[in-house]
Amino acid sequence: MGQTTMRDSLLSAEENRAMFERIARRYDLMNTILSLGHHSRWRRRAVRKMKLRAGGRYLDVGCGTGDVAIEMLQQCPDCSVVGIDPAEGMLDLGRRKLAEAGLAERAALQTGDATKLPLEADTFDGAVAAFCLRNVTDRLAALAEMGRVVRPEGLVVILELTKPHKPLMRLGHRIYTRSLAPLLGGIIARDRGAYRYLVDSVMEFPAADAVLEMMTRANLSNPRATPMTSGAVTVFIAEAP
């Protein structure tokens, strides 16, 4: 893949997996604190844009502790979900949450690499990756893989933390994330370094136009972006080939 999909500052796949294994137990709590409780609304809006249909089969890439999978199954009680994540510790928590919500029979969570999905082509009605793409070393490959496994014209949805558009908002966002996230990561998750890295991954994530171009290069059609919360979060949508 081209150099624009790779950055030395990103962790390797194994380093990324190990980091999420370390912070799995406090991951949900940290998400709630650092997003000021907005992450549930962001997920809900992103899943709505997937246009789920009864009987559909959907893929959640980088499913983590299962929040997006649960949201999909709650919005569409007659669909099914497969979740992929490299960190078994995150998946264990996700399976527990699905069971507690009475949704375990309609979801299957398994380990896997976003750039080499262990799934057959054209077998899903749509796919989503929430807060995942910025941590993938070869993003172009991950997008292409999502397009490969989704049936033609099915939606590929990316929900990602981004930088606000307005200079003043961007400055406030930068100060907030760079100071608070590592501090709380050290206190609550006991891993300041992991949350310093996660903040850096947001700051280094490409602008919306570059992400849309990347989706086009991955052979996805009609890419578009919808910013939320003054651009602190963006939903990217495209169609599978």
pLDDT digits (tens, 9 = 90+) for 217-229: 999 999 999 999 9
CATH T-level fold of 3-239: Rossmann fold (3.40.50)
State pTM to two decimals: 0.88
- How many Å apart are CA 81 and CA 31, to the nearest integer? 22
Pairing of strands 124-130, 57-61: parallel
More confident residue, 15 or 116: 116
The fraction of the chain above a pLDDT of 90, given in percent, is: 66
pLDDT at 6: 35
CA distances from 74 to 47, 103, 223 (A): 10, 9, 26
Closest CA to 9 of 135, 129, 109, 117: 135
- Which one of 26-40, 163-177, 197-211 scores highest in mean pLDDT? 197-211
Is the pLDDT at 194 greater than 80? The verdict is no
* Mean pLDDT for the chain overall: 88
What confidence category does residue 185 fall into, taking pLDDT thresholds of 50, 70 and 90? low
As given in the structure block, the two tokens for residue 156 are: 């590929």
Average pLDDT over residues 42-52: 97
More confident residue, 223 or 189: 223
pLDDT at 188: 67
Query: How is the chain split into domains, by residue range?
Result: 3-239
Is the pLDDT at 9 greater than 80? The verdict is no
pLDDT at 173: 67
Q: pLDDT tens digits for 58-117?
A: 999 999 999 999 999 999 999 999 999 999 999 999 999 999 999 999 999 999 999 999
Q: In what order do the strands lie in the sheet with 107-111?
A: 107-111, 80-85, 57-61, 124-130, 150-161, 233-239, 221-228
pLDDT at 5: 36
The fraction of the chain above a pLDDT of 70, given in percent, is: 90
What confidence category does residue 166 fall into, taking pLDDT thresholds of 50, 70 and 90? confident
R_g over Cα of the chain: 17
